[in-house]
Structure 1
Amino acid sequence: MIVLPSIFRRHALITLLNLFGLTAGIAGFLMVSLYVAGELTVDRGFTGVDRLYRVGTRLSVGGNDIVLGATTPLLVEPLAQDFPEVEAVTRASEEDVDLQDGDRVLTTPLLWADANLLRVLDYPLARGDSATALARPDGLVVTPDLARTLFGDADPMGRTVQVAGGQMLTVTGVLKPLAETHLKFTGIAADSGRGDKNWAHMAAEQWSHIGETAVYVRLRPGASAEAVAARLPDFVRRRAVLSQLPDDVRQGFMTLRLDPVPSIHLHIKTFNQSKPGGDVGTVGLLSAAALLILGVAIANYTNLATAQAIHRAREVGIRKLAGARRWQLVALFTGESVALAIAGTLTALAVVEVLLPPFQALVGRPLGFSLLRDGGFLALVLATPLVVGVLGGLYPALVLSGYRPAAVLKGGTAPAAGRLRAVLVVAQFAISITLIIATVTVLRQVAHARTAALGFLPENLYVVSQLPHDAQRAATMKTELAKVPGIQGTAFSSLVPADISQFMTQLTVPGDTHGATPGKAFMPEFSADPDFIATYGLDLKAGVALPPGWRPAADGERRYVWLTEAAARRLGYAHPTDAVGDRYTDEEDHPVEVAGVLGNVRFRTARDADEALMFSVGATGGFLTVRLAAGDPRPALAAINALVDRLYPEARRAPRGFADDRLEAQYRTEERQAKVFAIFSALAIVLANLGLFGLTALAAARRTKEIGIRRVVGARARDIAWLMVWQFARPVLLANLVAWPLAWWGLHRWLGQFTVRVDQGPGTYLAAGAAALAVALATVAIHVLRVTRAPPASALRYE
């Protein structure tokens, strides 16, 4: 238990204000520190982690780049042969697998891996030998959770489980509880357990056939990753098997890179990654917000301590007359500050324990005090009260210790450090106003990005994903769904909202078009059935949805396509109507004719520009979209899901949900940022106004006799109220002049990542400033009313 010095007990109100402010600031700082520590420790527990790299791939076609974390599994032997710097190479492929245990089927993410995976990415084992666990062709290493799910409390070692439709796997190892990693799995199985799908059957494949395989290399001690990376372009030119690609595409099609494994989680974003990585921007914003809040708390303490100094002037004078030296007084007063910071830190740890679950939900990652075992974080916790106490208490200690005994014992006025207090109040409210503006702007941008310029109607669209391409079953599905009440339209396509798939096709544009640039052109191509336009509510700018007598094209027959306006512009057309009816040939020399031009469609995020898209009109696709009528959707959803399960039994666990939910998921990071800003904005305002409350109380106490005299000589209550209100309103008004340009600069840079964005009008800035001023004035008014209503005689008898 911390016993506070007697000065804290004598000035209980100020002590409580200081303790609350320090507790809030330190609690926010420690929670964010837990989050940052967790983010920075992902994938850092491997042996020789500074020498571990994942081989990443960039595919470039017609000016479109696709960044992948996967690469061709055929790299293993060539890398080992051509690069003596490479100590070990291994592969891992993520797949959701159905494991069958008797009549029970469990779908779980597995890693198919080389036998040496656990010697390169050495996840620790509780049971088994990492050197041999995957050497067996049926070897399976499981997490403790998967072991309990499959076998209960029985010993899992040596137990078997069958891959649905495949071979038996035998448990050869049990992992220890996993620290967070960029890979998503509950078990690791020997690749040979995939049967004819394993890597041994891919020897004749093209390097352009990239699936879900990640290749990891560990370099030898002292080897230079930069030197290896510099030789990768030549390695691709010599070794890559890309004979299926046209000559003009092959050059520059594939680029390899080395991604440091510890950087994957925060710094490397790739196409279609199975597990969302962290966001370095969120880490930075949270860190900055926490430091600002801690700074506000320290400024509060400094403000109140210096304002309170007048009450300790006689104490300082007596101590100096008794022989105390200045350094002793500085140590005494700074020690009091550190003691209060220690009390605040202990209280903050209790607050963190209570608030950690909702904070985990806010930031979207597990946190816990287990990180206290990390020496760095434990040192941070121990250092926090010392740093906070010294920063908050050193200046007031210097002010107090500088009093002259003769002056203060005669009743003279001690220096009050008013100029510093004014600066700190301005800084506190500038931080608060900046955070308010950021919160409102981020919320406005997220709301705007969800709905602005989508080019289709997202409401009441239900999407079923990962369906097999089967024209006959697709036709049956559409026929059956047409009979279900509450369904207004259905369409199959290979692209839906929030899908990140990318398929490129090469077109040959002849010279007799109506304005298109002749030559080769690359275009993102997706399939869509004839009802796609009506189901999504797309805007047909020119042409027709379907030519008369349309039917699905057989192999080699003419295909009809729709272009978006951006695609028409990319091809060189000045107006959408010019493109209608023009014909090209695709990369297999099949004829392609433009049936119509659609308004631009934004299926992805507002960070992306208007996409150039080409839709090939066909009969099927991997996604089913159903437009529901307004009203209760549950009966229609039950019918849709029942039909999907009956007609596509292999896709019973296919993802399904509403399109607007898929769109909202794209802005989860921004929503979290807005919530973080909102919480820290509220906390900053509370802390700033607590400090203002204390300053007002001290100011009113110091000016009690002055106020009494003014009342006696005829001053009205509103005159005195205006005098005090204006004293504290000026720094808040000045804070706006500091906060507005800072907020505009930061938000201008943040909004720059969006192609569709809100304007930074003056309304948000004025409202934020007015809100901060209103709260500050309300805080001051509490003391003003108390002082102005007191009888003048009481004020004149003060002291």
Structure 2
Amino acid sequence: MTVLPPFFRRHALVTLLNLFGLAVGIAGFLVVSLYVAGELMVDRGFTGADRLYRVASTLSLGGNTVVLGASTPLLAEPLAQDFPEVEAVTRASEEDIDLREGDRTLTVPLLWADANLLQVLDYPLARGDATTALSRPDGLVVTPELARTLFGDADPMGRAVSVAGGQILTITGVLKPLAETHLKFTGIAADSGRGEKNWAHMVGEQWSHVGETAVYARLRPGASASAVEARLADFVRRRAVLTQLPEDVRAGFLTLRLDPVPAIHLHVKTFNQRKMGGDVGTLGILSVAALLILGVAIANYTNLATAQAINRAREVGIRKLAGARRWQLVALFTGESVGLAMAATLAALAMVEVSLPAFQALVDRSFGIAPLLHGGLLAVVLGTPLAVGGLGGLYPALVLSGYRPAEVLKGSVAPAAGRLRGVLVVAQFAISIALIIATATVLRQVDHARTAKLGFLPENLYMVSELPGDVHRAATMKAELAKLPGILGATFSGLAPGSIDQSMSLMTVPADAHGATPGQTYIAEFSADPDFIATYGLELKAGAALPPGWRPPAEGGRRYVWLTEAGARRLGYGHPADAVGDRYTDEENRTVEVAGILGDVRFRTARDADEALMFGIGATGGTLTVRLAAGDPRPALAAVNALVDTLYPEVRRAPRGFADEKLESQYRTEERQAKVFALFSALAIVLANLGLFGLTALAAARRTKEIGLRRVVGARVLDIAWLLAWQFARPVLIANAIAWPLAWWGLHRWLAQFAVRVDQGPGTFLAAGAIALAVALATITLHVVRVTQTPPAGALRYE
């Protein structure tokens, strides 16, 4: 018993190509659907998730805005008092801590939380009671993974662990395996377990001291979030403690907003967030690419189905003579098409299972295949064979079933659906060409962003961040580093490559400054020691690296600064060099003198324009940067890390790494997008050419007798090749005319986010079109060679 009908067995190659192409398209669509569904479901499992909000802060100073995911923990109580719409308020503060159990020490991300956190953000518990687990002052709830790491298979409930500060915590609950969430933690501990660092000891502090505490509010059913948000400005004006700020900046300094908790993962990007959220851009690109691939696969399937159906015209005529009715023929053709689509869908599910790990690595997310078995995705899986099979089979079935038997048997029926097939071929190649252009442009932009002028030399720079600003230890560190082989220089600074830190200073510019704008101006200021310029390889445009006889500024004494060229322009100088020697007054009423002008530096991403910066010359800073000699860096790295661990034992977890790696990490999203484009453009090209391969095979088969006659009368192989090549190359050329403007428009919008970006020259567009045309011509040539190798006598006997 055979599975395929006789016609499909006779055309087995085209049938297999059709099945494979459709399976690949469906598999790509389903994999991306799983990813999109997983991203959209993050933080939607909480009770009343549509009423959950994070009350977050935005700080504005001197035209600079910092969007934070945190707020002062002090606003929680007055928020609950002033807003009757608020049903519950809770707080959580993220911190990496050292947990000790026995003789083992583990560094883990922990949430310090209010006792009611698990009633507001109700992460499900496998063990323990959510209403009481954090009500104990020493309560600790852990994930199953942390419980196994600490205690193996033993029961963790009631077991004690200690933290670095000496506090003892007792495990009062074990969470169920966590779904994806915007918070990063392996345990949740009662805030009172922090001792003197807990929120109860912060009464009276400034609201500008935001820290890392997130405040969550659940509104009552029916309450309007927009009505609450509209009253937050008045709430800040009445309640906020901002007495340390000058009166003229208090009004606009702090703004509160409501971030819907289910939207945080995808839609809220904040300064210094501990866990990177999803990326809407990548999600959109993946969704569009998957839909395009599915469209290419369906177009390919429909194309081959209509082309194959034309060869069954004589079969239709015979069936009609035998008494078959039109609806029976429609049911036959459509049923066969749905059956093939069902087989392709089953093959696609197998492909999904196999390809899922690789795709998870590509998008840097974990998600399973389970959503395909329920909900909307199950409907997609079940509906795909019907939809695709109907598209591929219904049209040719209706056309062929309408032929008159006499006309069919006399061979007077012209092939139908030629125009439809032409449109579908154009659409397939237009998508392929657009994806090739997008892939090439994204890769060019990422490479350009990495190599565009930075203003410093990033090679062999090793950084250790989050060090305390201890002048004496900094001096000792630099003295010890100077003795080590393989170390060319070292500096302490408050700003380093890849940093997202912000620090604003208020400068009063006098009227006698050389071209600057008199008055008060805010400018980003960071500390830097005297070796900053030499270690980073910065360009000194004017002035001196250090004034003669420079010493670290004493309390209340004169300070010296370097300005970047953009910083000088920010202060109003038309010619940055004019700023050298000018003196300003800072917010502490100290005199600040410009020692030198530096070339512009870009420590952040290519999305940002040259930043207006001021570097206060001092003796220390939060980041140690060491320039290593060329060659094997491992001995020098080991020595540097040993010194840091010896001199700064309290910060053994301080972030460390090379500057160029830190800069590259800022473009991981773009790299993922480029890889996604590359993957889907390759699939689109393969699918489009599978369809072209099948169409060419069918066209060549239909024209076998014609080709034989042409060869008998003297046609060369080149003449026959041109005959078929032009027929199928013309749609590819038309596809270029469609793909180029669409790709240019989409990429123009994408590139607009970068201050430093590549030009969209014609080279990429011409190359993409040439690649698509070359692949198409190579596919056609395979058939031409095969057909022309057939002896003319055999070709003449074909029918």
Class of the TM-score when normalised by the shorter of the 2 chains: over 0.9
- Partners of 1:306 and 1:399 within 8 A in 2: no
The residue number in structure 1 matching 2:328 is 328
The residue number in structure 2 matching 1:366 is 366
User: Shift of residue 359 of structure 1?
Assistant: 0.8
- Partners of 2:306 and 2:392 within 8 A in 1: no
2:456 pairs with 1:456:
yes
The residue number in structure 1 matching 2:224 is 224
Which amino acid in structure 2 is aligned with residue 58 of structure 1?
T
The residue number in structure 2 matching 1:41 is 41
Alignment of 1:375-394 (within 5 A): 375-394=375-394
The residue number in structure 2 matching 1:646 is 646
CA–CA distance in 1 between the matches of 2:206 and 2:450? 40
Which amino acid in structure 1 is aligned with residue 635 of structure 2?
P
CA–CA distance in 2 between the matches of 1:509 and 1:554? 22
The residue number in structure 2 matching 1:171 is 171
- Partners of 1:712 and 1:792 within 8 A in 2: yes
- Partners of 2:56 and 2:71 within 8 A in 1: yes
Q: Residues 193-236 of structure 1, C-alpha deviation per residue, up to 9 Å, x if partnerless?
A: 00010000011101111000000000000001111111111111
- Partners of 1:144 and 1:177 within 8 A in 2: yes
Tell which deviates more after alignment, 331-340 or 173-182: 331-340
- Partners of 2:601 and 2:611 within 8 A in 1: yes
- Partners of 1:425 and 1:688 within 8 A in 2: yes
User: Shift of residue 321 of structure 1?
Assistant: 3.2
User: Shift of residue 432 of structure 1?
Assistant: 0.6
- Partners of 2:99 and 2:162 within 8 A in 1: yes
Which amino acid in structure 1 is aligned with residue 643 of structure 2?
L
CA–CA distance in 2 between the matches of 1:673 and 1:25? 19
CA–CA distance in 1 between the matches of 2:439 and 2:16? 29
CA–CA distance in 1 between the matches of 2:246 and 2:39? 43
Q: Residues 16-57 of structure 1, C-alpha deviation per residue, up to 9 Å, x if partnerless?
A: 001110111011111111110110110000001010000111
Tell which deviates more after alignment, 160-169 or 120-129: 160-169
CA–CA distance in 2 between the matches of 1:536 and 1:559? 22
CA–CA distance in 2 between the matches of 1:417 and 1:175? 60
SS of aligned partner of 1:730: helix
User: Shift of residue 328 of structure 1?
Assistant: 3.2
The residue number in structure 2 matching 1:422 is 422
Q: Residues 464-487 of structure 1, C-alpha deviation per residue, up to 9 Å, x if partnerless?
A: 111111111111111111121111
Tell which deviates more after alignment, 384-393 or 451-460: 384-393
CA–CA distance in 2 between the matches of 1:770 and 1:422? 20
The residue number in structure 1 matching 2:352 is 352
CA–CA distance in 2 between the matches of 1:205 and 1:392? 69
CA–CA distance in 1 between the matches of 2:324 and 2:769? 47
- Partners of 1:408 and 1:414 within 8 A in 2: no
SS of aligned partner of 1:251: helix
The residue number in structure 2 matching 1:431 is 431
User: Shift of residue 348 of structure 1?
Assistant: 1.2
CA–CA distance in 2 between the matches of 1:12 and 1:441? 39
CA–CA distance in 1 between the matches of 2:487 and 2:638? 12
The residue number in structure 2 matching 1:546 is 546
Q: Which runs of 5+ in 1 are unaligned?
A: none
The residue number in structure 1 matching 2:529 is 529
User: Shift of residue 383 of structure 1?
Assistant: 2.1
SS of aligned partner of 1:366: coil
- Partners of 1:455 and 1:600 within 8 A in 2: yes
Which amino acid in structure 1 is aligned with residue 328 of structure 2?
Q
Alignment of 1:63-142 (within 5 A): 63-142=63-142
User: Shift of residue 410 of structure 1?
Assistant: 2.0
Which amino acid in structure 2 is aligned with residue 333 of structure 1?
F
Q: Residues 292-334 of structure 1, C-alpha deviation per residue, up to 9 Å, x if partnerless?
A: 1111111111111111122211222233334434333223222
- Partners of 2:517 and 2:572 within 8 A in 1: yes
Alignment CA distance shift 1:338-1:238 (3 Å):
same
- Partners of 2:463 and 2:657 within 8 A in 1: yes
CA–CA distance in 1 between the matches of 2:339 and 2:365? 33
CA–CA distance in 1 between the matches of 2:106 and 2:716? 80
CA–CA distance in 2 between the matches of 1:84 and 1:374? 39
The residue number in structure 2 matching 1:695 is 695
Aligned-residue Cα RMSD (Å) equals: 1.3
User: Shift of residue 2 of structure 1?
Assistant: 11
CA–CA distance in 2 between the matches of 1:534 and 1:602? 17
SS of aligned partner of 1:349: helix
User: Shift of residue 591 of structure 1?
Assistant: 1.2
TM-score w.r.t. length of structure 1: 0.98
Which amino acid in structure 1 is aligned with residue 769 of structure 2?
G
- Partners of 1:36 and 1:283 within 8 A in 2: yes
Which amino acid in structure 2 is aligned with residue 201 of structure 1?
H
CA–CA distance in 2 between the matches of 1:479 and 1:148? 45
Number of aligned residue pairs:
799
User: Shift of residue 397 of structure 1?
Assistant: 2.5
The share of aligned pairs that are identical, in percent, is 82
Q: Residues 501-541 of structure 1, C-alpha deviation per residue, up to 9 Å, x if partnerless?
A: 10111111111100111111101111111111111111111
- Partners of 1:309 and 1:416 within 8 A in 2: no
User: Shift of residue 556 of structure 1?
Assistant: 0.6
User: Shift of residue 628 of structure 1?
Assistant: 1.1
User: Shift of residue 411 of structure 1?
Assistant: 2.1
CA–CA distance in 1 between the matches of 2:548 and 2:691? 76
CA–CA distance in 2 between the matches of 1:748 and 1:445? 12
Which amino acid in structure 2 is aligned with residue 271 of structure 1?
F
Alignment of 1:655-670 (within 5 A): 655-670=655-670
SS of aligned partner of 1:208: coil
SS of aligned partner of 1:317: helix
2:686 pairs with 1:686:
yes
Which amino acid in structure 2 is aligned with residue 37 of structure 1?
A
CA–CA distance in 1 between the matches of 2:545 and 2:306? 76
The residue number in structure 1 matching 2:446 is 446
TM-score w.r.t. length of structure 2: 0.98
User: Shift of residue 396 of structure 1?
Assistant: 2.5
Q: Residues 609-655 of structure 1, C-alpha deviation per residue, up to 9 Å, x if partnerless?
A: 11011111111111111111111111111111111111111122211
Which amino acid in structure 2 is aligned with residue 658 of structure 1?
F
Tell which deviates more after alignment, 620-629 or 410-419: 410-419
SS of aligned partner of 1:36: helix
